[in-house]
Homo-oligomer: A and B are copies of this chain.
Amino acid sequence: MNVAAQSRQPPADVEVLAFDVFGTVVDWHGSIVREMAQLHPQVDGDAIALAWRAGYKPAMARVMSGELGWTRIDDLHRLILDAILPEHGLAHLDEAQRQHLNRVWHRLDPWPDVLAGLERLKKRFILCTLSNGNLGLLTRMAKRAGLPWDCVLSAEVFRAYKPDPAAYLGFAQVFDLPPRRVMLVAAHHDDLAGARACGLRTAYIERPLEFGAAHPKEVSPRPENDLHCRDFAELADRLGC
């Protein structure tokens, strides 16, 4: 735990924890690399994982700009996948193989601290996803991994991807709470900044290996977040669970 984080008191009136999922709860990079090593061992799984994820924000931007109509992340993932397969030596994959591979996002594994941390947090807070991933994806991921959500919410419900304010404000409205009684838990500063601008509390989670061990992420504290935690165990500690 760092000094900057310790200097803030955890908020006492938070009722709901909203969780970013990809990168914060689950290790998308490691999970995709592991699955690629089994399915297609001849290709560079690290490069495919990074290229796939790099296509994510540009694809959502096409939706939010109106260039594409509302599109679920499953379908955006597929658009990106079809675009990157040729350059990674997988242009020959047939439709069934592509469908199966695209569903790897339903099969992502949680970080090692997640399940125990969520079980502690669940005793005191409502735990709910707030992810750009679609509801079906998030539900199947949770069922496979044992993520004990009290509710599954998504950009799909609000028809707006984070960091659009409609996602954060719509989330607070679902629970009939002022935004300050919701805390977003995320490993990404742009997401936390979007939440903070809407009045939500914020907890940053360090995930230095989000992009793989070869590409460590800078995770130093920023004073604008209410909490800065190494992992979900520290989050539970800080929130008195």
Contact = CB atoms under 8 A, between A and B. Distances in A.
A226 to B, nearest CB: 23
B157 A150 contact: no
Given A74-B176, A176-B74, A139 B157 contact: no
Contacts of A152: 150-152
Nearest to A148: B148
A126 B140 contact: yes
Most B C-beta atoms less than 10 A away, residue of A74, A128, A140, A176? A176
Contacts of A175: 135-136, 139
Contacts of A85: none
The secondary structure that dominates the A interface is helix
A58 to B, nearest CB: 23
A142 interface: yes
A126 B136 CA distance: 10
Interface of A: 74, 126, 128, 134-136, 138-140, 142-143, 150-153, 156-157, 174-176
25 contacts: A74-B176, A126-B139, A126-B140, A126-B143, A128-B139, A134-B174, A135-B151, A135-B153, A135-B174, A135-B175, A136-B174, A136-B175, A136-B176, A138-B151, A139-B150, A139-B151, A139-B175, A142-B150, A142-B151, A143-B150, A150-B152, A151-B152, A152-B152, A156-B174, A157-B157
